[in-house]
Each structure stands twice: as structure tokens, then as C-alpha cells.
Amino acid sequence: MNITLKQLSVFTTTARLDGISKAATELCMTQSAASQSLKELESILGATLFNRFGRRLILNEHGRELLDKANQMLTLQATIQQGQTNTLQGILNVAASVTIGSYVMPKLLANFVQQHPLVEPKLLISNSDSVIDRLMAGQAHIGLIEAPINHQQLLISPWRDDQLAIFCSPENNLAKQTDLSLKQIPKQRWILREHGSGTRSVFIAAMQQQGLMVSQSMDLARQEAIKQAVKANLGIGVLSHLSISQEIELGLFKLLKTPLNLNRKFSIVQSKHYANSQLVDAFHEFLVNSEKAAT
């Protein structure tokens, strides 16, 4: 019995979603049909591909070895089909870090789909480290991150400029001043993103450039949690200006100027295995052109 593209599609979708039920829904199949396809694939290969934890299916060593090859096969299939029809179509898995995924990508994806209605985008939002992990695991075609990176197995393109903002509650004593001096910075309680976040790494690097360290911090994994903590006057927050612009306009936060260099560059990141995918290349070009149009 030969391996089919349908079996590979069920396998890769299950790997991305960590479950056969979600995979079946996305692929418009019954759960029993999807399960049967996966069982047939494992039977042909003579090995199980997932460790099963209740309803969750997590790739094991055999599955991880197959995933990259399976994605290459499905990408090749899509490229051949698109070459015949000259129409972009298929699933586009985009992994984006939190700021980009929440405030930049929704509008861009909507515009891309408007131009290419047969494309089905799937947006996966996590911190920058997790975006890289998804790309390396073959769970995303293209990624967008906020942290500087150097990775030999990935193609990295600088994309958009961004700036971090330091802000506090209007009830904070610092709200009466406009600037935060280098002497004052280490004395503050900081409300920061978790380790692995691009926002955190850029802020820590800016501190280190000035010979400073964070002595007190509360680490939170969600931007909204950071905002609520700052509103409650638990400390000073650091987030992209994109994520707090509305609150600044409403007077809910007070911006604080500092001598820290908080400029950063968003980056487009790709696995080399998808470098020749017509759909991924088209989306990459769309992202680059969107930045040119914005400037």
C-alpha cells in the first residue's frame, strides 16, 4: 500500500493542532475517517507517530522525523496545482509573535485573502521563541517575530520598525513627571512579558546597554494582563506602542520617556524548506510590499 497525500494532510494537520478531532474539522472530514487515515499511515510506516495523552496527540520521534518531509510533499503538491491553475490556493500557516499577531496580522491577512480568496490562512500567536519552534517543527510556513535572531536553518528578513513604550498608571507618582532617569530605572517594579518574548528581550538588552539590571519584576505572559497590572498601579509596564495607543489616547496610561534605546525591528522568518513554495513566496512578497506602502 502506498502513502497518499490525504494521509499526509491528516498527519500534518493533526501535528499542528495536537488532536485528530480538530484536524478532522479543519479538513472537513469525519473524525472516524481522519483517524482511519492516520492509522493507515502508521501501518504503512510500521511505527506510531504520536504519543497519546487523552485527546491530545503529540508528535513522537518518528512523527518529528516524518513531519518535515510530509510538509515538503504537500507544499510541492500545492505548487504544482497552483502552477496549473495560476491561482493561489491552500492553507497558509502563519506563526506570529503576540504584538504582531494581535495588532498587525489580522488586517494584513484580510487584505491578502481579499486578493486571493482560495487561500485559507491559519494564524498561530505565541511568543517569539515559540514561533521559531513552530517553524523548526514544520508547524508553520512563515513566521513573524519581534526579537533579534540569528539562525542558520531559517531565512530571516528585516520587516517593520517598532518601538517599545514605558508606561504607568495616572495614579503612579511617576505620572507627575515626563522623564524617567537612568538612576530611577533600576528602582522600579517592572511589569514584563515572560522569558522567550521579543518584547522582554529587547527591553533587557536596552537595560544592559546602559549597565542596568531589573531588580524587581512581575512576569506575565499576556499583554492584557500587563495592562491590567499597570492600571492597578502594581508597577511600570513595557509593551509595544501599538498595543497601548488606544489607552494612551483615553488617558488610562501615562507614557514615560527614558534614555533607553527601545527601537526594534520586526522580522519575517521562513524555513528553507518552504523557500520555493508559490503560496509562501507570494505571501512574503505581499508582506514586504505592505511595509513599502506603509512608509
Same domain (yes/no): 169, 78: no
Mean pLDDT, rounded, for 122-145: 91
Q: What is the CATH number of the domain that holds 172?
A: 3.40.190.10
CB atoms within 10 A of CB 133: 16
Torsion of CA 86, 267, 139, 1, to 10 degrees: 40
Beta strands in the chain (DSSP E): 50-53, 56-59, 90-96, 119-125, 142-145, 154-168, 189-193, 216-220, 236-240, 254-255, 263-271
C-alpha distances out from residue 62 to 48, 58, 80, Å: 7, 11, 28
Q: Is residue 142 part of a domain?
A: no
pLDDT over 90 (residue 239): yes
The amino acid occupying position 96 is A
3-state SS, one letter per residue, for 224-248? HHHHHHHHCCCCEEEEEHHHHHHHH
Structural domain boundaries enclosing 205:
162-264
Q: Is residue 250 part of a domain?
A: yes
Structural domain ending residue among the three candidates 48, 64, 86? 86
* Per-residue pLDDT tens digits for 32-78: 999 999 999 999 999 999 998 888 899 999 998 898 888 888 877 77
- pTM of the predicted structure, to 2 decimals: 0.73
Q: How far apart are CA 246 and CA 239, in angstroms?
A: 13
Q: Is residue 215 part of a domain?
A: yes
Q: How far apart are CA 267 and CA 131, in angstroms?
A: 12
Q: How far apart are CA 144 and CA 125, in angstroms?
A: 10
For the chain, what is the domain count?
A: 2
Q: What is the CATH number of the domain that holds 61?
A: 1.10.10.10
Measure the N-to-C terminal CA separation of the chain; round to a whole number of Å.
55
Structural domain ending residue among the three candidates 55, 86, 117? 86
Same domain (yes/no): 260, 169: yes
Residue 75 grid coordinates:
507544499
Q: Is residue 124 part of a domain?
A: no
pLDDT of residue 248: 95
pLDDT of residue 124: 93
Q: Is residue 50 part of a domain?
A: yes
More confident site: 277 or 235: 235
